[in-house]
Structure 1
Amino acid sequence: MTAESVGHWLDTVCEQAFSYQEAEAWGDAGPLLERLVEVGSQFFGQSDAKVLSVRHCLALNHFQLEQYDKAIALFTENDAYNVAVFGASHPDTNTGRFLLARSYAEAGDFDRAIPLYERALKFSRQNKDEDHSHTWQAQYWLAEAYACTGRTHEAIPLYERCVAGRPLADSRTIMALTSLAVACHTLGDMRRAAVLYADILSAHQALGRPEDEVMRNLRMYLKRAKRGKPLPD
């Protein structure tokens, strides 16, 4: 096989793998991506740009399947190549490190996740707008990591930046607002928590959300906050 024919094969199989991912058929995409990384590395080298892209997609595929150890290994491997090829300050390097942080966090390793989130947020604030989706995600997930490790006071300002100036009917706003309400409730700020819970319920109702478990929990949290009771264990 020539490099040209291999390149054409890679492009064809990539399209199939990516179509599986778009359909969230992660189990079907995984074997194709693994084969692409194997063949691409043999013909073009581990640090080839296309191989880096496919390895990134394979790591993301493992993340979606909750195979966090495999995702961590691949994101870590790709990070070394990204730094060597693009540099430590390249957007692709930063994106990979953010997803590595997400993988560590989902695996419960916040000691490794938090420094990576902090670097990702610093990079986004320096290179992107405050309203950019990358900045929002870095802020939100860093706040979640702080909240999960007892650093709720540090999480609240990040949640506040996630909701500032955003429409209440936006799903990401509701997600961050819910986390902010829970953080306030956790710290004993019952009055603010109650106001936030009421706003969130109103937003869900305006969007036509059915009376599901999320809505029932919000109503229960609202009642507890109004009565000065802490969150249930």
Structure 2
Amino acid sequence: MSDRIISKSFSEIKYDSYISDNHLIWAFVGNAFFYNGQGLYDKAAPWYEQCLEITKQRLGEEHPDVATSLNNLAFLYRSQGKYSEAEPLYIEALALYRQLLGEEHPNVAQSLNNLAALYSSQGKYSEAEPLYIEALALYRQLLGEEHPNVAQSLNNLAALYSSQGKYSEAEPLYIEALALYRQLLGEEHPNVAQSLNNLAALYSSQGKYSEAEPLYIEALALRRKLLGEEHPDVAQSLNNLALLYYSQGKYSEAEPLYIQALALSRKLLGEEHPDVATSLNNLAALYRYQGKYSEAEPLYIQALALRRKLLGEEHPDVAQSLNNLAVLYSFQGKYSEAEPLYIQALDIFEQWLGVDHPHTIIVRNDLAYLRQLLNSQPE
């Protein structure tokens, strides 16, 4: 679908009365979801933006579909790392749902979850936690203890605690979510596979590799059975299992899984997708730890270029790629090449995540150490 056709479609949708008010939003979100799912955020953006504009014109400022459109656009901005643009949209959507549907409605709970996820992405854990807790309580009140949305909320809160290193608080929530999904959806369901993956990641973060490995393997097998060999979730599971082996220094076991995940992501999603950049980054990290710097460098550079193209110059994932390349150069003693990359990464992290985020602190410390090394070099 060309941009010219997209532009024409906007005009047709805006003025064609054959699209009822009840179906107006869906005339846009199908195309938006299509592009968003491929990581083509720049192509998805005009559909989300026009959806919001035209929905407001046709339905008025105070309509549930306007709130949904605000949520969708905010989600896109969050995916692009545009957190400051996403936040007011999420807040507006939440306020609108509360006004139109009342305090006790599933859409309000979902909006609370969305806003909490945004804050969590920024490392604003103290702001995210009460929203996740409120969403969980609301789902339990409205839907009962045994509902998939309750399980998802348990997962969200567990992920927040895991991000903060509060593993003892995260583990029972992940276990409860997994048990609930199994009870409600059966043993063979994609949500069960995701829950297995989440619990495995928690154990891996704690160095409990023997507990994590069978869960990762079970999640991979389940995804292959349910989704087939060629599915993005299978690629994700391959990456996860490879990361587990990499963390244990089992590089010969990790490498073929990383290569398989990269090939699968490229085949399914195309060359230009954020998941491809992630796979390139993972494989590069493996080579770096093995001292294969000449093999790692082109992969890091390719991942950085891809993230810049897809996400823009100032996305946290771009900062992560800049940092990774800087670390590689530091390992090689190329301090003058590493320094500007650290500086760029630090600027982005400070802007988007704040000065106290763990990523920001790590890069700041790495830069300070690098400068010590530079200053200690003979003239």
Q: CA RMSD in A?
A: 3.2
Aligned pair partner of 1:179 in 237, 240, 243: 243
> Could you tell me the percent identity over the aligned residues?
23
Report the alpha carbon displacement of residue 100 of structure 1 after superposing the two structures with TM: 0.9
Aligned pair partner of 2:75 in 10, 21, 26: 21
| Whole-angstrom distance in 2 between the partners of 1:36 and 1:103 | 22
Question: What's the CA shift string for 1:30-64, capped at 9, x where partnerless?
Answer: 21222333354356432123322222222222233
Which deviates further from its counterpart, 51-60 or 18-27?
Answer: 18-27
Q: 1:14 to 1:146 in 2, by over 3 A?
A: same
Question: What's the CA shift string for 1:144-185, capped at 9, x where partnerless?
Answer: 2112224322112111112226338842132222133136x3
| Whole-angstrom distance in 2 between the partners of 1:148 and 1:222 | 21
Question: What's the CA shift string for 1:179-199, capped at 9, x where partnerless?
Answer: 33136x36xxxxxx3542242
Equivalent in the alignment of 1:56: 113
Equivalent in the alignment of 1:87: 144
| Whole-angstrom distance in 1 between the partners of 2:172 and 2:60 | 39
- The count of corresponding residues between Structure 1 and Structure 2 is 213
Aligned pair partner of 1:153 in 187, 197, 210: 210
Equivalent in the alignment of 2:184: 127
Alignment of 1:66-85 (within 5 A): 66-85=123-142
SS in 2 for 1:108: coil
Q: 1:129 to 1:218 in 2, by over 3 A?
A: farther
> Is structure 2 residue 66 aligned with structure 1 residue 12?
yes
Q: 1:31 to 1:139 in 2, by over 3 A?
A: same
| Whole-angstrom distance in 1 between the partners of 2:230 and 2:243 | 14
Report the alpha carbon displacement of residue 212 of structure 1 after superposing the two structures with TM: 5.6
| Whole-angstrom distance in 2 between the partners of 1:125 and 1:44 | 31
Question: What is the TM-score when the length of structure 2 is the normalising length?
Answer: 0.49
Question: What's the CA shift string for 1:84-110, capped at 9, x where partnerless?
Answer: 111111111111111111111112211
SS in 1 for 2:63: helix
Aligned pair partner of 2:165 in 108, 125, 139: 108
SS in 2 for 1:164: helix
Q: 1:148 to 1:205 in 2, by over 3 A?
A: closer
C-alpha contact 1:63 1:71 (8 A) present in aligned 2: yes
C-alpha contact 2:251 2:286 (8 A) present in aligned 1: no
- Bigger-Rg structure (1/2): 2
Structure 1 stretches lacking a partner, 5+ long: 187-192, 224-233
